[in-house]
Amino acid sequence: MDRSQLHSLRVRPGDPAHLDRRDQSDRLGILDKAEAQRAVEQLVTRLSTLQHRLFAEDRRSLLLVLQGMDAAGKDGTIRKVFTGINPQGCTVVHFQRPVGAELDHDYLWRVHQAAPARGQIGIFNRSHYEDVVAAYLTGVIDDEERQRRFGHIRHFEAMLTDEGTHILKVFLHISRDEQALRLQARIDDPEKRWKIESSDLAMHEQWHAYQDAYGQAIEATSTDVAPWYVVPADLKWVRDVVVAQLLVDALAEIDPKVPAATLPPGTKVI
Amino acid sequence: MDRSQLHSLRVRPGDPAHLDRRDQSDRLGILDKAEAQRAVEQLVTRLSTLQHRLFAEDRRSLLLVLQGMDAAGKDGTIRKVFTGINPQGCTVVHFQRPVGAELDHDYLWRVHQAAPARGQIGIFNRSHYEDVVAAYLTGVIDDEERQRRFGHIRHFEAMLTDEGTHILKVFLHISRDEQALRLQARIDDPEKRWKIESSDLAMHEQWHAYQDAYGQAIEATSTDVAPWYVVPADLKWVRDVVVAQLLVDALAEIDPKVPAATLPPGTKVI
């Protein structure tokens, strides 16, 4: 994939996310599905090697934050990119609507608990960004609180980074039409119908409000240390290549080193 | 107790802590031990009432951060002030040297997990301040990292405050001579000797370095929303009154309200 195209997905600090100007079915120069699948295969092999080194080094961690509208492909991306990675070095946390003890604490409490341990790749399937998007649109917080939370999140992520966590944030960007198709397919599939609630359809109706709120959250929190990438996601094979490539690039940047042996060469087991 | 004297214990944002100018055996106008004990009794009763309301309201929480040199009286203060308080609304967390999974995360990870739930009074017996004092003096972090951590801590505490936690930070201030007496008493008491390690004696030798580092941490992190109080602690009875009074004042400021009944008056159980 062309590096400059990958780079163009990154939202620079302070820049608007321009979700409405970004083509959700962009192919980013990838020829076809077959080429994409070959690329993903190679990237996953590379990812596996780098992840092993990250685990062995046991000093730093990688956090992938995955956000997107319903049916944007969060679960699918995780399945495609991380199947084949040693689960011992990889933790997926699925954040659902907060309940119980979670509600008894600030919104970052459960997120901080779920932060990847050193040596791990952590994947957030949804995240604290629900607390500045959905929480705002459903009236749980007002705009003043949302702005304050943007500040909390920037500081929280900067702290994680300072302390050894490399952060990568991905917004899976699908079109309203593609979402409609996918939701309809789920409703029509007796095996998948359970995934849909009436609230999902309500969110589909509020498409533009959600796009705006995501755009604002991305603009407010895309920083040098914890950048957002807006990944075109109408074409699943494009999405998979991009996310796999971003992860490989992030790990290559971390450049984890397998620790030196503690036993001197020539040590004999007696 | 005279309010202005209590106020003088507070370190204003940006002000030096001036630990060396503060009298560790200050009586703050309290006549004698008997008067202090009567005052503590009344304050604990008041604290109990307010804590019940905080619990019933279930919206906000109070966090008391207790720091101090070895033998400064952290355990004793907790025993004296919180015995008699409903433990259902009160959680004490004793932070020891981080181990295992704690070391696998940033230093605020375990602290955030231990944050008091809504409706609770949380007491930190030692805290993240060890990560900017002891960690610095033992060479775990350098000054640049320490300064960065001061920033993290200010932001972290501001976030907790924004989200409903009232924070009160108390430095129990004892003199070097009083510490020597208490440590010696522990060593001489076969029942208490286990509490002492050679590292405690090493810290006693580094008294001035620790005082300086505490002073710098207090100066850097005493904010309007999460202020530090330097409490004279050579006289245990003064210390107890002051901490009890600070807690009562904090809860009075929170002013928790018992929620309105959901059943209308006149509802009959059939």
Question: How much is the average pLDDT of A129-158?
Answer: 97
Interface residue A156 vs chain B (CB under 8 A): yes
**Which chain A residue is nearest to residue B116, measuring alpha carbons?**
A105
Percentage of chain A exceeding pLDDT 70:
96
Beta-carbon count within 10 A of A215 CB: 19
Residue A217 banded pLDDT, cuts 50, 70, 90: very high
- Least confident range of A117-121, A167-171, A266-270: A266-270
Does residue A262 carry a pLDDT above 70? no
* Residue B22 to residues A167, B9, B18, Cα–Cα distance (Å): 44, 9, 7
A175 pLDDT exceeds 90?
yes
Residue B59 sits at the chain A interface (C-beta within 8 Å): no
Whether B55 contacts chain A with CB within 8 A: no
- Put simply, whether A93 touches B (Cβ < 8 Å) is no
Which member of A58, A106, A118 has the closest CB to residue B163?
A: A106
Q: For A115, which of B58, B109, B148 is closest by C-beta distance?
A: B109
Give the DSSP letter string of B134-154.
Answer: HHHHTTSS-HHHHHHHHHHHH
Cα–Cα distance for residue pair A49/A44, rounded to 1 Å: 9
- Which of residues A15 and B184 earns the better pLDDT score? A15
Whole-number pLDDT of residue A201: 83
Among B103, B105, B121, the residue to mutate for chain A (most A Cβ within 10 A): B105
pLDDT tens profile B1-51: 778 889 999 999 999 999 999 999 999 999 899 999 999 999 999 999 999
The model's pLDDT over A87-114, given as tens digits with 9 standing for 90+, comes to 888 888 999 999 988 999 999 999 999 9
Question: Quick one: pLDDT at residue B208?
Answer: 95
Give me the mean pLDDT over the A192-209 stretch: 83
Q: What pLDDT does residue A189 have?
A: 82
The pLDDT value recorded for residue A3 is 80
Residue with tokens 């400021």: B253
Measured distance CA(A15)–CA(B162) in Å, rounded: 27
Find residues 163-202 of chain A whose CB sits inside 8 Å of chain B: 163-165
C-alpha to C-alpha distance for A242 and A27, rounded to whole angstroms = 10
Q: Note the pLDDT of residue A267.
A: 66
- Partners of residue B152 in chain A, C-beta under 8 Å: 155, 158-159, 162
